[in-house]
Amino acid sequence: MAWPEKTAPTTDASEKRTLGKGVFRRCESCGHTGTAEELVAHFEVCPHCGHHHRLAAARWRELMLDDGALETWDGDLRPRDPLSFSDGTPYDERLRSSQKKTGHHDAIEIGSGRVDGRPVAYGAFIFAFMGGSMGSVVGEKVTRLFERATREGLPVVLLQASGGARMQEGILSLMQMAKSVSALERLRAAGLPFVSCLLHPTTGGVAASFAFLGDVNIAEANALIGFAGPRVIENTIGQTLPQGFQRAEFLLEHGMVDLVCSRLELKARTSLVLAHLAGARPRA
């Protein structure tokens, strides 16, 4: 009896390896594998363990603002390389790479929108752009966000996810800390609310300036929040840190933030806070 002839496979090895790519996603925390559509529908929050994966700026607008609509302010500002800095890769090359990857000029977007019908001045850091680091343009846009909100009588909602001040701009990036906080104080003097939303991670110069200065500080569940990272602190003091140190829940327990909630609840909680602050703080 003749054996049937073998036929060539219709799918080569490389095609097999990519089968299902983009269709299924694996949770970074619990390891559950589900459809990509499932995570997208839950704004990158795992429906099984609640782990918060990173969310793009456009999805944050969709989550936080009515109809996802943002009237962009100062979108023409672009960073430069004032120090001709290079750490093996020239800074201007890193900028071009991040701009191409993210579609943004720098690590923040600002503008006006509505939260449950209430007009707000809105800002959101873009962590995918050089770790959400704050250079001259980011600091200038945060400052302008507070200043324009003051002029137009708007509350400010600012979403922060940042590794801190941008080392490639040296002292020019550190100057943004004082400048932005000065603008925030003028907003506060006008009796206008500032809701600070601390996402994962909020660290360095951003944490050390305006991030903790909200009338209400709302932290995303399990976000890493602090100045230096836990490994740096452990190496510096030579001690093991407590379990959960610098995580949102630890900070809430120790009085450093006012509220911790799931990303999926963030808009509703922000709306409630804004309604309360608007009634409790008449304009000066």
**How far is the C-alpha of 149 from the C-alpha of 76, rounded, in Å?**
19
Give the model's pLDDT for residue 16.
46
pLDDT at 21: 60
What is the model's pLDDT at position 185?
Answer: 98
Query: CA angle 136-138-143, nearest 5°?
Result: 90
Parallel, antiparallel or unpaired: strands 108-115 and 71-72: antiparallel
* One-letter amino acid of 280: A
Nearest to 273 by CA among 208, 203, 195: 195
pTM of the model: 0.89
The domains of the chain, with CATH numbers, are 23-53 (no CATH), 55-280 (3.90.226.10)
At 279 the pLDDT is 72
Q: What pLDDT is stored for residue 15 in this prediction?
A: 47
Question: Which distant-in-sequence residues (6+ apart) come within 8 Å of 72 by Cβ?
Answer: 109, 110, 111
Intervals of the chain under pLDDT 50 = 13-16, 18-19, 282-284
CA dihedral over 163, 168, 171, 172, signed as positive or negative: negative
Q: Give pLDDT, residue 259.
A: 97
pLDDT at 99: 97
Crossing angle between the packed helical segments 266-280 and 57-64, to the nearest 10 degrees: 60
112 and 157 Cβ atoms separated by less than 8 Å: no
SS (H, E, C) the chain: CCCCCCCCCCCCHHHHHHCCECCEEECCCCCCEEEHHHHHHCCCECCCCCCECCCCHHHHHHHHCHHHCCEECCCCCCCCCCCCCECCCEHHHHHHHHHHHHCCCCCEEEEEEEECCEEEEEEEECCCCHHHCECHHHHHHHHHHHHHHHHHCCCEEEEEEECCECHHHCHHHHHHHHHHHHHHHHHHHCCCCEEEEEEEEECHHHHHHHHCCCCEEEEECCCEECCCCHHHHHHHHCCCCCCCCCEHHHHHHCCCCCEEECHHHHHHHHHHHHHHHHHHCCCC
Q: What is the pLDDT of residue 283?
A: 47
Q: In what order do the strands lie in the sheet with 108-115?
A: 71-72, 108-115, 118-125, 156-162, 194-202, 216-220, 259-261
pLDDT digits (tens, 9 = 90+) for 153-188: 999 999 999 999 999 999 999 999 999 999 999 999
How high is the pLDDT of residue 231? 87
pLDDT of res. 101: 96
Within 10 Å of residue 40's Cβ, how many Cβ atoms?
11
Is 217 exposed, middle or buried, given 0-12, 13-18 or 19+ CB atoms closer than 10 A?
Answer: buried
